[in-house]
């Protein structure tokens, strides 16, 4: 199985979506777009098809059939292998606690539901420690600059980052509280049926 670091965010989202059931690449693209996942990763068809082929070569997913409906081109259906499931989980475990790669963190957060509630809390606690340290560093820098008489016009970016870190801490603490007290539904058993891939009729696919 390839190391998680070899997975791109697009690959992670493809594998994570296949956890919901077998599907062909066209359906996979449609579902990702329907869920507005292009907010997180580019969803060009060429990239998706190339990534699916690479994931198959790497032994993370496998072909389970080819079908044709009417005049449509043949469509290959893929299934997620255990190695692919494990690769998603390991990638999320690595990216969820970090604060340096914002784009990867957003994907990890979107796929955090693939991990158990308690593990997500523990990973976010690790991230919180990094956020606190970074916020303290920025505040110390701002205090030092003010003491030296550095004009505010040179510090506006640092001021912005300090404010963003404070907001991120407040948001994450609120998320943690919901995870801990159980008010946030978590895991596949708590997903409403109408929001799952299996609830969408394949007959509606153009």
DSSP string, 48-113: HHHHHHHHHHTTSEEEEEEE--TTSPPEEEEEE-HHHHHHHHHHHHHHTT-SS-HHHHHHHHHTGG
> What single DSSP character describes residue 191?
S
166 exposed, middle or buried (CB, 10 Å; 0-12, 13-18, 19+)? middle
| pLDDT at site 66 | 83
Q: What's the maximum distance between 2 C-alpha atoms anywhere in the chain?
A: 75
Class in CATH terms, 4-109+189-204:
mainly alpha
* Spans of all domains in the chain: 4-109+189-204, 115-184
Tens-digit pLDDT profile for residues 162-173 = 999 999 999 999
Which among 73, 60, 125, 68 is positioned nearest to 97, based on CA atoms?
125
- 81 close to 60: Cβ distance less than 8 angstroms: yes
- Measured CA angle at 198 (ends 193, 204), to 5 deg: 115
pTM for this model (two decimals) = 0.84
pLDDT score recorded for residue 201: 35
Cβ-based burial of 5 (10 A; exposed 0-12, middle 13-18, buried ≥19): exposed
From first to last of the 206 residues of the chain, give the pLDDT tens digit: 444 447 999 999 999 999 999 999 989 989 999 999 989 988 888 889 999 999 999 999 999 988 766 566 678 999 999 999 999 999 999 999 999 999 999 999 999 999 999 999 999 999 999 999 999 999 999 999 999 999 999 999 999 999 999 999 999 999 999 999 999 999 877 666 655 555 443 333 33
pLDDT given at position 105:
96
pLDDT digits (tens, 9 = 90+) for 33-72: 999 998 998 888 888 999 999 999 999 999 998 876 656 6
């Amino acid at each position: 199985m390839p190391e998680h670091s070899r997975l791109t965010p697009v690959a992670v989202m493809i594998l994570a979506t296949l956890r919901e059931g077998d599907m062909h690449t066209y359906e996979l693209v449609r579902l990702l777009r329907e869920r507005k996942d292009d907010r997180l990763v580019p969803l060009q068809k060429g990239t998706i098809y190339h990534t699916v082929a690479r994931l198959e070569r790497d032994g993370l997913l496998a072909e389970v059939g080819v079908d044709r409906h009417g005049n449509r081109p043949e469509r290959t259906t893929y299934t997620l292998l255990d190695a692919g499931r494990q690769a998603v989980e390991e990638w999320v475990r690595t990216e969820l606690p970090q604060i340096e790669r914002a784009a990867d963190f957003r994907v990890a957060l979107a796929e955090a539901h693939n991990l158990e509630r308690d593990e997500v809390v523990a990973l976010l606690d690790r991230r919180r420690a990094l956020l606190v340290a970074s916020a303290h560093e920025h505040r110390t820098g701002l205090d030092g600059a003010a003491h030296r008489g550095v004009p505010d016009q040179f510090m506006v970016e640092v001021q912005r980052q300090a404010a963003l870190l404070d907001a991120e801490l407040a948001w994450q603490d609120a998320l943690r509280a919901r995870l801990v007290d159980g008010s946030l539904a978590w895991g596949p058993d708590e997903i409403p049926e109408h929001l799952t891939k299996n609830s969408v009729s394949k007959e509606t696919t153009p």
